[in-house]
Amino acid sequence: MIVFGKVSGVSAPDLAKTFNAAGADFERVTPLVWGPAAQVLVHQLAVQPGDHVLDVCAGTGASALAAALAAGPSGGVRALDLARELLAVGQGIAETRGLRNVVFEEADVTSWQPSRAAYDALACSYGVFFLPDMDEQVERLLGFLRPDGRAGFTVWLHGALEDYAVAFGDALKHVTGAEGPARRPVWEDNIVRINQRESLTAWLHERGLVDVSVTVLSSHIPVTETFAWDFVRGSGMRGALLALQPEVVTAVREEFLAMLGRRGITMVDASTLVATGRRPSCRG
């Protein structure tokens, strides 16, 4: 984890800009990164035929599309995200697959209001730590579940991505001379609160969930030249490239790939916590 100075919120438009820029690159890493966790999440959430699922921070729909298959034609999925480019990719995939029970909607989940009474399940894969007031926002989203409705989250496991992300930050610094932002983004503080099995379990209990189950999805992705750079371009790391000229981006790429080699980083540890729980029938 790259740690900068004081913490600061990241505005919704800035997040949208980062993830919109990731666009098609985001989907390129789905088979290795977003997809496996989404499958496990939907399985652990036990989405059933007829279920109505709310998928927040949905991106290109890794978990929304998996949930749509599980919910079947008598159920459905509403997939929300700030980044319209990612939603458009997800919508295209749904159409190609003939999935008519998933709707992609551009929305800031921190202010979105549901039009249906209550959802059977809430899914949020690699998104919860982006929410500025994470505790309050998750409690608000859990309020959209029916009693006994289930909620599921995926979060990077403590230590995941670390060597890789540090190398990327160092390559950026080496090429641009920039020290990184004076204020670190809020998700870095959020994620360290919930990136271990025990802390995530406790955090979900504090949010009022019961029957909490947190499993570890172990994942070690070989660092090919293609994957190493695709993952930068197709993830939140893309934000660091936005203000750079194309020739500087090329120099960062070259330095980053060389640095991975020099540091002997041959795998990206993408291990992930998959957490599910149930909203109790009666809230005390």
Ligand X SMILES: C[S@@+](CC[C@H](N)C(=O)[O-])C[C@H]1O[C@@H](n2cnc3c(N)ncnc32)[C@H](O)[C@@H]1O
**Residues at the site binding ligand X, with contacts judged by CB under 6 A:** 12, 15, 19, 34, 38, 57-59, 62-63, 80-83, 86, 108-110, 125-127, 130-131, 236
CB of 104 to ligand X, least distance (A): 11
CB of 218 to ligand X, least distance (A): 17
Nearer to ligand X, 87 or 175 (CB): 87
Nearer to ligand X, 20 or 201 (CB): 20
Nearer to ligand X, 175 or 238 (CB): 238
d(CA 131, CA 110): 7
Q: Tell which phi-psi region holds residue 89, choosing left (phi > 0), alpha (psi between -120 and 50) or beta.
A: alpha
For the chain, what is the largest distance between any 2 Cα atoms, rounded to a whole number of angstroms?
Answer: 58
Contact 258, 269 (CB under 8 A): no
Nearer to ligand X, 186 or 214 (CB): 186
Neighbours of 16 (CB within 10 A): 18
CB of 120 to ligand X, least distance (A): 19
CB of 10 to ligand X, least distance (A): 8
Nearer to ligand X, 51 or 81 (CB): 81
| Residue whose Cβ sits closest to ligand X | 59
Where does residue 176 rank: exposed (0-12), middle (13-18), buried (19+ CB within 10 A)? middle
Contact 259, 171 (CB under 8 A): yes
